[in-house]
Amino acid sequence: MTDKRILITGGAGFIGGNFVARALDLELGQVLVLDKFTYAGHEATLRQWEDHLNYELVRGDICDSDLVANILKDFHPTWLVHFAAESHVDRSIDSAANFIQTNIVGTFNLLEQCLSYWRTLDREDAAGFRFHHVSTDEVYGSLGATGYFTETTPYAPNSPYAASKAGSDHLVRAYHHTHKLPVTISNCSNNYGPFQFPEKLMPLVLLNALEGKPVPVYGDGQNVRDWLYVGDHCDAILQILAHGSKGETYNVGGHCEKTNLELIYALFEALTRHSELVAKAGFSPRDDYRELITFVTDRPGHDRRYAIDASRIERELGWRPATAFTDGLDQTVSWYLHNLDWCREVQQDNYERSRLGLAAEQ
């Protein structure tokens, strides 16, 4: 897979940025990132690749039909990997308009332009082309105390964000079944790791704990999520692109269910293990980070439990998560402690956009 031409939408975001790094590190071929740079996409995430011969960045909107058509024509991608999405549930509750525009209308535009592009390819190139759509387990709704989401679980989204992703999933599937466009879909559990936007749960807990600020916990803290290290997720997507069946969906999970409180306690333990690094970064290690926990009113429509059955991708494609949870936490905590300048830069960038009225969902 060293001769691919990979178009990555949303490559300046958390999972997209890690996927860019994986593709370039593995020398898979040429990589072009298309990103609008909304609140969670930042140039700082991609800065390390600026001078890489196999990397190119285009600042633009997936809803821009002419732009997407021209990129497809000029770049001639082998794979399109679609990460671009508005993905913060709380923001979707405050205002859903941008979620509908990006997640549904944007995906529709990509599909339309890819269909036109794909129809111009010769037989060999058309057979090798893939449109991979990255989605979420939130489209399935909420589980009870037992059971798992499978690829055949009925959709039952409970937030505007989840509903917008469900809509985009249905569009991708429809373009395959109606037009035979070679697509694949993955629905993943909660990711963690480097380059995650600081208002998401893990980095928010880490940064607040370091600064001695309250660590907010929704409701009783017993909501359960399945946690997946972002590098393992990127490897799963590569397996799907290389070996997945056209038109199929693959659930990608970490086999790692934690309540929000369990996750936060584990993060505190990781900070304690890295106390020397905490001090070196200019913070005072605490004897008990738990005293910072502050329970706050639960958010509307907060799903109680998600859990992924990833047996299909394991059975058919041979993928399993390779990173143990404790190892992943240690890598994550170490990365943030070594990259506090990145955190400050993206927080300042978002503040400036908000102040100027340019940030999404403000």
Q: Does 276 reside within a domain?
A: no
Q: Does 272 reside within a domain?
A: no
Question: Residue 177's domain is classified under what CATH number?
Answer: 3.40.50.720
Q: Does 361 reside within a domain?
A: no
Please give the average per-residue pLDDT across 227-249, as a whole number. Answer: 98
**Residue 110 structural domain:** 4-192+229-255+303-322
The answer to whether residue 59 scores a pLDDT higher than 90 is: yes
pLDDT of residue 356: 54
The answer to whether residue 252 scores a pLDDT higher than 60 is: yes
pLDDT of residue 353: 66
Cite the active site residues.
137-138, 161
The answer to whether residue 246 scores a pLDDT higher than 80 is: yes
Number of domains, the chain: 1
Nearest Cα to Cα of residue 287 among 201, 206, 212, 203: 212
- pLDDT digit string (tens) for 307-327? 999 999 999 999 999 999 999
Nearest Cα to Cα of residue 217 among 302, 295, 298: 295
pTM: 0.94
What is the residue-averaged pLDDT of the chain? 94
Q: Does 205 reside within a domain?
A: no
Q: Does 352 reside within a domain?
A: no
Q: How many H-runs (helices) and E-runs (strands) does the chain carry?
A: 15, 12
Contact 10, 16 (CB under 8 A): yes
- pLDDT digit string (tens) for 127-170? 999 999 999 999 999 998 899 999 999 999 999 999 999 999 99
- The CA distance from 190 to 228, in Å, is 6
- Percent of the chain clearing pLDDT 70 (strictly above): 96
What backbone phi and psi angles, to 5 degrees, belong to 39? -60, -30
The pLDDT-based confidence of 352 (bands split at 50, 70, 90) is: low
- pLDDT digit string (tens) for 67-103? 999 999 999 999 999 999 987 677 777 878 889 999 9
Nearest Cα to Cα of residue 261 among 230, 225, 300: 225
pLDDT of residue 361: 34
Q: Does 198 reside within a domain?
A: no
Contact 255, 310 (CB under 8 A): yes
